[in-house]
A and B are shown apart, each in its own frame.
Chain A
Amino acid sequence: MTNKIELHHGDGGVKTSELIQKVFLKCYGNDREVPLSDSFVFTTKSSKLAFTTDSFVVQPLFFRGGDIGKLAVCGTLNDLVTAGAKPLYLSASFIIEEGFDIDILCRIAQSMGGICKENGVRIVTGDTKVVEKGSADGLFINTAGIGVVSGHYSPCEIEAGDEIIITGTIAEHGTAILLDRYDLSVETNMISDCYALNYLITDLKAELPYIKLMKDPTRGGVATALNEIVAHVGNNVELIENRIPITTQVKAINNILGIDPLYLACEGRMILVVKKGFGNRTLQALKQICGNHDAQMIGHFTKDCQKLVYLQTDIGGKRVLPSLEGQTVPRIC
C-alpha cells in the first residue's frame, strides 16, 4: 500500500472512506462520533439548521447540460436537501489559475447566479485566490451552504421492508462528462441531470414524515450510495434490475465504454428510503406533484444483516453490488 494520495482517494468509494477515517477524523480529534452525512444538522434556540460544504473540480468546465458553476450550486443545495433542509445562503470560493479567461469566469458566475435566483437562495460570502500558471487546472470552486431543516422531516431508523425510491433516470451526469471529456463521437441528445432538488422539501411536504433517509447518488453512483447506507444500517438491500430507470442512450453508451451505470454519478437525483408500505404513495406524489415521471421504486431493505447491496437481475439471477473500488471516472464533479 502506497503512502501517497492516489486518484482513488477522491472517488467517493472505499478509499475515500478510509482517508476520512484514518486521517481526517483521527486528526480532527472529534471526541464523539459525528455521523458522516453530507450535511451536519444542529439546533439553535429557535430552529434546526443544516450546514454543508463541497468542492468542484469537474473537467471539462462546460459539459452537455451544465457547467462547473451550475454544479457547484446544485451540489451544495442537494447536500442540504439530504438533511431535509430548505437552503438559504451559500458561500462561493474560487481557486483560479493565472491566465484563466475572465469572460469564461463571467459565464460561470452568471450560471451560478441564475441557479441561485431560480431556487431562492443567495451567495452571501466568498473568496478568490489566484495561483501561478500550472498550479491548478483552470478553475476549482468550493461552495458551502446553510439551510433550515423542515419540521416535517425526521429521519429515523431503517428497518427490513423499508422501500427505496430513485427520483429519476440514473447515470446521466457521469455519462455526459465521459462523452464530453473523451470527445466520443456518439450521436446523442442526452445531457447531464444536474439540477437543484429543493422541490423535494417544498413540494413533497406531505410525504416527508414517511421518508426515513435521503441521499444523492453522486460520485460512485447508486450502488456506492446504497453501500454507504447499508454500512450504517446493517440490513441488506435488494434492488430489482428491471425497475431501475435508465435511458436506452445511457445504457448503450456505457455498454460501449464497459462501464456499469450503477456506479456513475447523478447530480440531480435523490435516493429516498421510505417507511414500509408508503413507497407507492410517495412514488405517486413524486410523479404527479413533482412531475418526476421516471421516478421508480427500485428495491427494499431485507431482514438479512450482512451489509450487502445486491441486484436481482432481469433473468432472476442475483449479484452483489459492492462499493466502488478503483476509480470509474476522476473529476466528475
Chain B
Amino acid sequence: MMKMNKECKKTIRIMEVCGTHTQAISKSGIRYLLPNHVKLLSGPGCPVCVTNESYIDAAIGLLSHDHVILVTFGDMLKVRGTSSSLSEKKMKDNVITIYSPEDAITLARKWPQKIVVFLAVGFETTAPIMAATIKNAYENGPENLFFLTALKRMEPILRFILEDERNKIDGLICPGHVASVLGADAFQFVTKEYQVPAVVCGFEAEDLKAGIYNLLDQIEGERPVSFLNLYQRCVRNTGNRLAKECMDEVFQKEDGYWRGIGKVSNSALGLREKYQRLDVKNKFDLSEEIISNPSACQCREIILGLKAPYECKQFGVRCTPETPLGPCMISSEGSCSAHYKYGRVIF
C-alpha cells in the first residue's frame, strides 16, 4: 500500500462490476487505505439493482392469481416496481424466499395444485444453474413449475459503459464470478479493444489489494497496459465448459432492459423456443410494459461510473436503504447501499 500512497494529482477512477466486489471493497475498508486521488466506482454488477420496474410489476401481477406462489432470492423482495414491491404485496405463503434454484423444484412438488413461479434473475454467474433447473424441470417436471426470467449478460453492458463518450474509467476490476463461468478470456476485449487496463480478481481483501495495485501500476505507466487474471485459483482462461454449454442450450441472447439505463442490445438471456412452455409469460399471456429510466436519482450516472454515490444529491437524504429511490440503493450489493452502510464517514 506504500506505493499507492505516493503523490499524484490526476484522479484515477477504477470500476468494479460485480455486486460481491462492491460489498467486499466496502467491507474490507480498502478505500481508507487509498490516497484521495484514487476513486473506486461500482458499475452495474448487481443483478437485482438493474432489474427493470416492469419485471417487478409483472411479478406482482402474478400474485393476483390465487393459486400462484412466487419463489425468489431474498434481495428481490424490496425492489420496487412502478408503485410497490413484492414485500409490500406478499401474503403469508405466496412469496417464498429460497437459497438455491433447486428449492423451486422441491416446492413445486410439495404443492402440485399450485403454480410455482421462480423469479430467475442474475448474470452469467447464476444463469448456468438456472439453465440446469429449467432443463431439469423440462425433462422431469414438475409440470406446475414456471419461470419469469430477467437474466443479464455482462459483456454488452461493459461495452455500453466503455463506449459512452463521457466514460472516464481508467481501470476495470472484472467480475470474478462471471469470469469463473465464461473464462478470463471473455474480458480480454476490455484491454484489446478499449485499451483500458483490466484484471480479474477474487473477493478476499488481499485479492482486491493485488488487483488495485496492478491496475495502478498500469494506469501510472509503470508497466504496459495488459489484461491479467489474478484469480487463477478459480478462473480458467476458457471458463467452465459444462456451465457454458448448459446456458447455451437453454438461453438465447436478446435485448435487455436495465433499470436506470434503458435498452441495451443483446444484453439479456431469454428462453429458447424449446423451453418456451416453461415461460410464465406464455402461461398467463403476460406482457411487460417496459419502463425506461424513471428514477428520481442519479443512478444512471453512478452505474455508468460518471459519478460516485455521494455526488448524488438524494444520497442519504431522500434515498436510503429503507426508502430507496433508485437501483443502486436497493440491494445490499448495490453501490449506493454499500456506500451508505460502510462508507458514509470519511475518516
Residue A5 at the B interface, CB < 8 A? Answer: no
B322 touches A315 (CB 8 A): no
Least distance between A283 CB and chain B CB atoms (Å): 25
Instruction: Tell me if A313 and B205 are in contact (CB < 8 A).
Output: yes
> Which of the segments B119-127, B271-279, B338-346 contacts the partner chain?
B338-346
- Majority secondary structure, A binding face: loop
Contacting chain B: which of A72-80, A82-90, A198-206, A318-326?
A318-326
CB pair A315–B99 under 8 Å, yes or no, is no
Are A315 and B345 closer than 8 Å at their CB atoms?
no
The residues in A between 296 and 314 inclusive whose CB is less than 8 angstroms from any CB of B are 306, 308, 310-314
Interchain CB contact under 8 A, A318 and B322: no
**8 A Cβ contacts from B296-347 to A:** 320-323, 332-333, 341-345, 347
Report yes or no: A317 in contact with B29, Cβ–Cβ below 8 A.
yes
> Contact at A320–B343, with CB atoms within 8 Å?
yes
Q: What sequence of 0s and 1s flags, for each residue 55-82 of chain B, a beta carbon within 8 Å of any chain A beta carbon?
A: 0000000000000000000000010000
Count of residues in A whose CB is under 8 Å from the partner chain? 26
Distance between Cα atoms of A260 and B209 in the complex (Å): 21
Evaluate contact between A326 and B322: CB separation under 8 angstroms: yes
- Does B236 make an interface contact (CB < 8 A)? no
Query: Which residue of B has the minimal Cβ distance to A306?
Result: B345
> What's the Cα separation between A88 and B176 when bound, in Å?
56
In the bound complex, residues from chain A placing their C-beta under 8 Å from that of B333 are 258
What residues on A are CB-neighbors of B1 within 8 Å?
Answer: 316
Asked if residues B99 and A317 are in contact (CB atoms below 8 Å), the reply is: no
Give 4 nearest A-B pairs by CB, closest first: A317-B29, A313-B29, A319-B29, A319-B342
The chain A residues found within 8 Å of chain B, CB to CB, are 1, 8, 14-15, 182, 184, 256-258, 260, 306, 308, 310-320, 322, 325-326
User: Can you list 25 A-B contacts (CB < 8 A)?
Assistant: A15-B322, A182-B97, A258-B332, A260-B27, A311-B29, A313-B27, A313-B28, A313-B205, A315-B28, A315-B30, A315-B33, A315-B205, A315-B209, A316-B1, A317-B31, A317-B32, A319-B27, A319-B32, A319-B343, A320-B341, A322-B344, A325-B320, A325-B321, A325-B322, A325-B341
Residues of B within 8 A of A (CB): 1, 23, 26-33, 78, 97, 99, 205-206, 209, 320-323, 332-333, 341-345, 347
